[in-house]
C-alpha cells in the first residue's frame, strides 16, 4: 500500500520535473522553489535528481537584467524615459531575483525601490501554463480524493496574478494601509501612478535582511504574527522570502514582496483556526470534525493524522520554546518517514480544496523561512495567538519564547 502510494507520488514529481525542464520559464520556477527551501532537506537518494535540478536552477537563474533592458521596460511602462520621472536612478541593482530585480531611485527627493520584471517572463509563463494539463492525471492518481483539475486551475490563476506587478501594487497598498500605524509591522507604500504590469515602485526602506537580524527570535516571532495574523483580516501572503523581510532600526519588521497573495473566505479561516486549536489541544474529535468540514480528510482518519503530525513535529508543536532550524526539519522528516505506511494511508484519503492551496503554501513557506534563518520560539503559542487575534495580538517575549 505504502509503496504503491509513493510510486504514484513519484510519477507526479517525474511529470512535473519533465515539464519544467522543457518549459522556457521552468528554470525560473525551479529557482524560486530552491530559494524557498534548503535543498538539503530533500530526502536522498530518491530526491537526488530533484535536488540537483533545483541547485542548478538557483545558480543560473539569477543573472542581472542588462541595464538597457531595464531602461526599455521603464520607458514602455511610463511612456517616457526614466530620467523624466525620477530625480535619480542607480543602474546597479540592489537585489536580483529569478523573476525580477530591484533598483534604488529618488522620486521628488525621497528614495524609492523600483522593481522591474524580467523581459519576456510573463509571456513565457502564460504559454507554459498550458502544459499543466499533463499533471492532472498523475495528480489525481496519487491523491484520489483530490479535485486535480480544480487545483491546477487555482494554481494557474494565482500564478497569473503574480505576473502582474500592478496587481501586486494594489495588494501592497492594502497591506500598507492596514499596518500604517502598527507598532511592530511595516509595509512600504507603493507609488501607484508609477506602478505597471511590469514595474512596481515603492517607498525605500532601510533595514537588515531577516537572516542577519540582530534578534532573530524576535524577528521570526513577528513574521509569524504577520503571516498568520493576516488571515484574520481576509488575506494571506504566501511567499515569506527572508531576503524580502527586513528588521528595521526601530524594532519593527518590514515586509517588501506581495506577489503571491490571496483573498480568503472568512468562514474557512474560522474553521481552519478551529482545526489548529484542536490539533494543538490534541483533541482528535474536534480535529476530525473540522478537517472533514474543510474537505481535507474524513473524520475517521483524523486520529491517525493527528498522531502522525504530532510525532513528526515533536517539541515544535509543544508548549515550550524549541529550536526551528535545518536540523529540526531533517529530524521531523525522518520521524515522518519512519511512519510511511500510516503516511501513505493519510495521503490516499486526504485532499486539499483549491482555495486552500495558497494558504497551505503560506504556512509551509513561513516555517521553512524560519528554519532557514534558525530561531527559538514557542511556535504553538505564537501560531494560536496570531490566528485568534490577528495583527492586534500582543506578541511579547514571554509569549513568544525569546
Per-residue pLDDT of the chain (402 residues; tens, 9 = 90+): 566 777 777 777 777 777 767 777 767 776 677 676 677 777 766 667 777 777 776 677 678 999 999 999 999 999 999 999 999 999 999 999 888 999 999 999 999 999 999 999 888 888 888 888 888 888 888 888 889 999 989 989 998 999 999 999 999 999 999 999 999 999 999 999 999 999 999 999 999 999 999 999 999 999 999 999 999 989 999 989 899 999 999 999 999 999 999 999 999 999 999 999 999 999 999 999 999 999 999 999 999 999 999 999 999 999 999 999 999 999 999 998 888 888 888 888 899 999 999 999 999 999 999 999 999 999 999 999 999 999 998 865 544 444
Question: Quick one: 278 and 153 in the same domain?
Answer: no
Question: Quick one: 150 and 242 in the same domain?
Answer: no
Question: Quick one: 22 and 144 in the same domain?
Answer: yes
Output the pLDDT for position 122: 86
Cβ 58 vs Cβ 65: under 8 Å: no
Domain-located, residue 96: no
Domain-located, residue 183: no
CA atoms within 13 A on the CB side of 168: 30
Q: Cα(325)–Cα(334) distance, rounded to whole angstroms?
A: 15
Chain centroid to CA 338: 27
Domain-located, residue 88: no
Output the pLDDT for position 138: 85
Question: Quick one: 145 and 279 in the same domain?
Answer: no
Domain-located, residue 71: no
Question: Quick one: 137 and 252 in the same domain?
Answer: no
Output the pLDDT for position 402: 46
Question: How many Cβ atoms from other residues are within 10 Å of residue 275's Cβ?
Answer: 22
Domain-located, residue 80: no
Question: Quick one: 141 and 288 in the same domain?
Answer: no
5 class by beta-carbon count within 10 Å (0-12 exposed, 13-18 middle, 19+ buried): buried
Question: Quick one: 354 and 247 in the same domain?
Answer: yes
Output the pLDDT for position 398: 43
Domain-located, residue 94: no
Domain-located, residue 119: no
Q: Cα(275)–Cα(271) distance, rounded to whole angstroms?
A: 6
The total domain count for the chain is 2
Question: Quick one: 214 and 296 in the same domain?
Answer: yes
Q: Where are the beta strands (DSSP E) in 253-293?
A: 253-255, 261-263
Domain-located, residue 181: no
Please give the DSSP secondary-structure letter assigned to residue 190.
B
Domain range spanning residue 157?
A: 2-62+132-162
Output the pLDDT for position 298: 95
Amino acid at each position: 500500500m505504502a509503496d504503491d502510494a509513493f510510486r504514484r507520488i513519484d510519477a507526479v514529481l517525474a511529470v512535473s520535473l519533465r515539464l519544467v525542464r522543457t518549459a522556457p520559464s521552468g528554470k525560473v520556477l525551479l529557482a524560486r522553489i530552491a530559494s524557498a527551501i534548503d535543498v538539503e532537506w530533500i530526502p536522498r537518494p530518491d530526491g537526488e535528481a530533484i535536488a540537483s535540478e533545483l541547485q542548478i536552477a538557483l545558480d543560473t537563474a539569477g543573472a542581472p537584467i542588462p541595464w538597457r533592458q531595464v531602461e526599455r521596460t521603464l520607458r514602455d511602462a511610463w511612456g517616457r524615459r526614466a530620467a523624466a520621472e525620477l530625480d535619480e536612478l542607480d543602474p546597479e541593482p540592489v537585489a536580483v531575483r529569478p523573476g525580477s530585480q530591484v533598483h534604488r531611485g529618488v522620486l521628488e527627493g525621497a528614495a524609492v525601490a523600483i522593481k522591474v520584471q524580467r523581459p519576456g517572463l510573463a509571456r513565457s509563463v502564460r504559454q507554459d501554463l498550458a502544459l499543466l494539463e499533463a499533471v492532472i492525471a498523475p495528480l489525481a492518481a496519487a491523491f484520489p480524493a483530490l479535485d486535480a483539475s480544480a487545483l491546477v486551475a487555482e494554481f494557474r490563476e494565482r500564478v497569473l496574478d503574480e505576473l502582474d506587478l500592478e496587481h501586486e501594487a494594489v495588494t501592497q497598498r492594502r497591506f500598507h494601509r492596514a499596518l500604517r500605524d502598527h507598532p511592530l509591522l511595516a509595509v512600504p507604500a507603493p507609488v501607484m501612478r508609477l506602478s505597471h504590469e511590469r514595474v512596481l515602485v515603492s517607498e525605500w526602506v532601510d533595514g537588515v535582511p531577516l537572516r542577519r537580524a540582530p534578534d532573530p527570535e524576535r524577528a521570526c516571532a513577528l513574521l509569524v504574527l504577520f503571516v498568520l495574523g493576516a488571515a484574520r483580516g481576509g488575506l494571506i501572503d504566501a511567499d515569506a522570502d527572508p531576503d524580502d523581510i527586513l528588521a528595521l532600526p526601530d524594532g519593527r519588521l518590514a515586509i517588501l514582496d506581495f506577489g503571491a497573495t490571496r483573498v480568503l473566505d472568512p468562514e474557512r479561516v474560522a474553521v481552519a483556526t478551529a482545526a489548529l486549536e484542536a490539533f494543538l489541544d490534541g483533541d482528535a474529535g474536534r480535529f476530525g470534525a473540522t478537517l472533514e468540514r474543510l474537505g481535507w480528510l474524513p473524520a475517521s482518519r483524523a486520529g491517525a493524522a493527528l498522531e502522525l503530525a504530532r510525532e513528526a513535529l515533536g517539541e515544535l508543536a509543544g508548549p515550550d520554546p524549541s529550536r526551528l532550524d535545518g536540523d529540526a526539519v531533517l529530524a521531523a522528516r525522518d520521524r515522518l518517514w519512519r511512519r510511511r505506511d500510516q503516511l501513505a494511508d493519510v495521503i490516499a484519503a486526504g485532499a486539499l480544496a483549491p482555495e486552500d492551496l495558497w494558504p497551505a503554501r503560506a504556512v509551509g513557506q513561513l516555517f521553512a523561512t524560519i528554519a532557514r534563518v534558525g530561531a527559538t520560539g514557542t511556535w504553538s503559542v505564537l501560531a494560536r495567538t496570531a490566528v485568534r487575534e490577528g495583527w492586534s495580538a500582543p506578541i511579547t517575549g514571554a509569549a513568544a519564547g525569546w
